[in-house]
Amino acid sequence: QDLWTRYVKSTEYHDQYFGNDMFGKEGYRQIKCPVIIIFGEKDQITDTEQCLHLNRHIRGSKLMRFPTAGHDFHQRFTLKFKIICEELFSKV
């Protein structure tokens, strides 16, 4: 319960400290490591537009859509997620 309470409080103050775009377009451009943005098209927590925004602003990022996945992609498609992570980590 304590962890949940702290999380809720952090979301209440998020915009005050970070604004609508935590890193800004210039901040995203500073990211140099490989980035894979994975999202399920049935995700009811993360807006698809957030993923597309990150993909547009993080140079060289790779966008992976999964039509049947929700927010719990990594739990429902564990093997696929493991393979994606291993491929990403092999590039670093």
Walk me through the domains of the chain, giving residue ranges and CATH numbers.
Answer: 2-89 (3.40.50.1820)
User: What six digits make up the tokens of 25?
Assistant: 């377009």
Tell if the pTM clears 0.75, that is, is over it: no
Q: Give the separation between CA 88 and CA 39, rounded to whole angstroms.
A: 16
Which residue positions in the chain have pLDDT lower than 70? 1, 11, 14-25
Task: Answer yes or no: are the C-beta atoms of 64 and 40 closer than 8 Å.
Answer: no
User: What six digits make up the tokens of 51?
Assistant: 């993923």
pLDDT at position 32, please? Answer: 86
- C-alpha distances in angstroms, 1 versus 8, 10, 11, 13, 79? 11, 14, 16, 19, 31
pLDDT at position 4, please? Answer: 79
Task: Answer yes or no: are the C-beta atoms of 70 and 44 closer than 8 Å.
Answer: yes
